[in-house]
Amino acid sequence: MPTRPRHLPRAAAGLAVLALVGCGSDTGGGSTTSTSTPASSTSPSASSSASSSSSSTASSSSSPRTSSSSSTSASTTAAGPKASSCVSGVRDAMTSTQQAGQLLMAAMQPGSPTGLDSAISQQALGSMLYLGGWQGSSTVAAASSHLQEVSPTVNGTKVGMLVSADQEGGEVQQLTGSGFTSLPSGLEQAQDPQLRTSAKAWGSELKQAGVNVNLAPVADTVPAAIGRANQPIGKWGRQYGSTPAAAGKGALAFAQGMQDAGVEPTVKHFPGIGRITGNTDLTATGISDTVATTNDPHLAPFAQNIKGGTRIVMVGSAHYPKIDGETPALFSKKIVTGMLRDDMGFDGVAITDDVGAAKAVSATPVGQRATKFIAAGGDIVLTADPAQVSTMVSAIQTKAKGDPAFAKQVTASVTRVLTLKEDMGLLRCG
């Protein structure tokens, strides 16, 4: 999602938007102990680039694992991703509501550790995001523990929650205070010759607080000629460099460090938002990349991270006219299925940038924001507005009931999500 600033105002900001930006160099080396604040008074937002509050609401050449290293990882066949007996058993025992709930992630604001309880009990919500600027590891840990306690049980088997944060660095850091390091921006992290080690330490802080997914790192390349004019990334220095090589190196080091700590990274924002000028969280204009093609060099950092073991990829909401006209990337089958899954061989979990408050998709009815992403080949729909969960669940159920092809896609997505959870120890049968 576009980045969410850590200095997010809480009053009347019920749901903040995600979007950060920045430009910088490609060199490695330097310090990771200082954090610079952008000159602008507007900070970025959450998974793709953090913007200020917008509505009520490397590294190593060897990876700790590859995308197919786990014995339970789903591999794609003509019939869809394969599933272990545990995954298939739980999936098939789920009601349509429970299956749909596993395909949604909703944000939870500070001060309300039980704020998602109704969505979990009524819609079997399977994933959540800490948003709004949570303070203190002990506070977050208590909320995380509660979330796992109330997570759904299906046919006697507990289906744990994906508990996520947008702990990227610089102005995009949702968890601060005691127990959480103040992280440098992407450009500053790129100067750290031991970035993977540093990221492992940061990931350990998340793990201690019960966070098992980080909606980072940024793998977007912001050309030097665009720099700070790129509102979602370059303006805030979120990128690791101005070339695909630098962007890929930094993102991979950060991602592998997170994995070393037992936290799943989320590489974003596919297929790249480094060349747009508008922040998709805040505007529907200036969000078209008129250069990108299916052979874009800016795809290399994503391919590198997928090869390195990344199991979650976030798809952005910008437009790519040379690929699929004015269709937002997250609604494009050419991009999600054709490029991410078929061309890059990604069989992991694809998640949206925020579709709850983002202006880029505001013209699309709430329910369709979920069904269009799943139809394109995606898995988890992220909304900054938890009030939208019931609408999205109903939309997924209704479409699956009347559309056999879509129903198969729902089954495939649930399989991928449950497989990830099984690999993470969140789903244990027997």
127 in any annotated domain? yes
- Is pLDDT of 20 > 90? no
- Is pLDDT of 16 > 90? no
Half-sphere exposure of 216 (CA within 13 A, CB side): 39
6 in any annotated domain? no
Burial 283-319 (b: 16+ CB within 10 A, else e): bbeebbbeebeeebebbbbbbbbbbbbbbbbbbbbbb
Rounded to the nearest integer, the mean pLDDT of the chain is 86
39 in any annotated domain? yes
229 in any annotated domain? yes
Which DSSP symbol is given to 340? I
279 in any annotated domain? yes
Q: What is the pLDDT at residue 57?
A: 33
State how far the Cα of 289 lies from the Cα of 283, in Å rounded to an integer: 15
pLDDT in tens, 386-406: 999 999 999 999 999 999 999
- Domain housing 222: 14-423
Question: CATH code at 96?
Answer: 3.20.20.300
Better-scored residue on pLDDT, 21 or 355 = 355
Q: SS3 of 243, please?
A: coil
- Is pLDDT of 285 > 80? yes
Q: What is the pLDDT at residue 80?
A: 78
Q: What is the pLDDT at residue 76?
A: 56
Half-sphere exposure of 358 (CA within 13 A, CB side): 39
Compute the average pLDDT of residues 170-176.
Answer: 96
Q: What is the pLDDT at residue 229?
A: 98
169 in any annotated domain? yes
Q: How confident is the model at residue 79 (pLDDT cuts 50, 70, 90)?
A: low
- Is pLDDT of 32 > 60? no
149 in any annotated domain? yes
